[in-house]
């Protein structure tokens, strides 16, 4: 179960990591069925997850309970609500399994132990944070000024796998456009 994570870490930090097995032992395996909610807004996020297989949706609700999807995250990537996890405060976001998913998770205690004992782990966290930030910046710069059609093109250029793998409804909520509009414009490409 930890094979993916081991590969992931070795790829980023090299093979010579002293406490790699110790780190891995702090992760617990979890699995969820399609459509299960893993984190609900208002709850405190207890884990940082690494996705071994499957995919997660991170989303918020607006006042009419419509979903806006901030991110769709697939296998071999990290997922959490870092603000809630870091400060142990209520989450403003929800996380849902959009496919059957196998996760390995580290809780706050294990996380902090690792931060203190394993200097390399500190780097992993920083890389997660930096990558998450870079993603967000990229998305803001791309989306804020783009039309619906341009957003669809952006998705095809940047994350082509999503278009075929997930439902139109989900993709539309990720692009911030309505599913009818998405359906219409898709035909024009």
By a kind-dependent CB cut-off of 5 to 8 A, residue 130 interacts, out of DNA, a second copy, none, with a second copy
CB of 127 to DNA, least distance (A): 34
Indicate left, alpha or beta for 57 from its phi (over 0: left) and psi (-120 to 50: alpha): beta
144 contributes a contact to a second copy by CB under 8 A: yes
162 contributes a contact to DNA by CB under 7 A: no
Are 63 and 113 contacting, i.e. CB atoms less than 8 angstroms apart? no
- Which member of 160, 176, 180, 184 binds a second copy (CB under 8 A)? 176
68 contributes a contact to a second copy by CB under 8 A: yes
Q: Which long-range contacts (CB under 8 A, 24 or more apart) does 141-150 make?
A: 143/175, 143/176, 148/175, 148/177, 148/181, 148/182, 148/185, 149/185, 149/188, 149/189
- Which member of 149, 153, 154, 165 binds DNA (CB under 7 A)? 149
135 contributes a contact to DNA by CB under 7 A: no
């Amino acid at each position: 179960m930890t094979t993916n994570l081991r590969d992931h870490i070795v790829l980023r930090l090299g093979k010579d990591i002293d406490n790699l097995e110790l780190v891995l032992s702090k992760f617990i395996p979890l699995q969820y069925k399609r459509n299960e909610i893993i984190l609900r807004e208002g709850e405190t996020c207890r884990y940082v997850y690494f996705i071994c297989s499957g995919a997660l949706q991170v989303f918020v609700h607006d006042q009419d309970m419509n979903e806006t999807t901030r991110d769709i995250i697939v296998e071999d990537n990290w997922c959490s609500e870092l603000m809630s996890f870091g400060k142990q405060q209520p989450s403003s976001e929800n996380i849902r399994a959009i496919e059957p998913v196998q996760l390995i998770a580290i809780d706050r205690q294990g996380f902090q132990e690792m931060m203190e004992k394993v200097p390399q782990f500190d780097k992993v966290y920083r890389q997660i944070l930096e990558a998450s930030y870079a993603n967000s910046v990229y998305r803001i710069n791309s989306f804020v000024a783009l039309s619906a059609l341009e957003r669809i093109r952006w998705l095809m250029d940047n994350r082509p796998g999503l278009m075929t793998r997930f439902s139109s409804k989900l993709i539309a909520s990720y692009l911030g456009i309505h599913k009818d509009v998405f359906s219409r414009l898709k035909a024009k490409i």
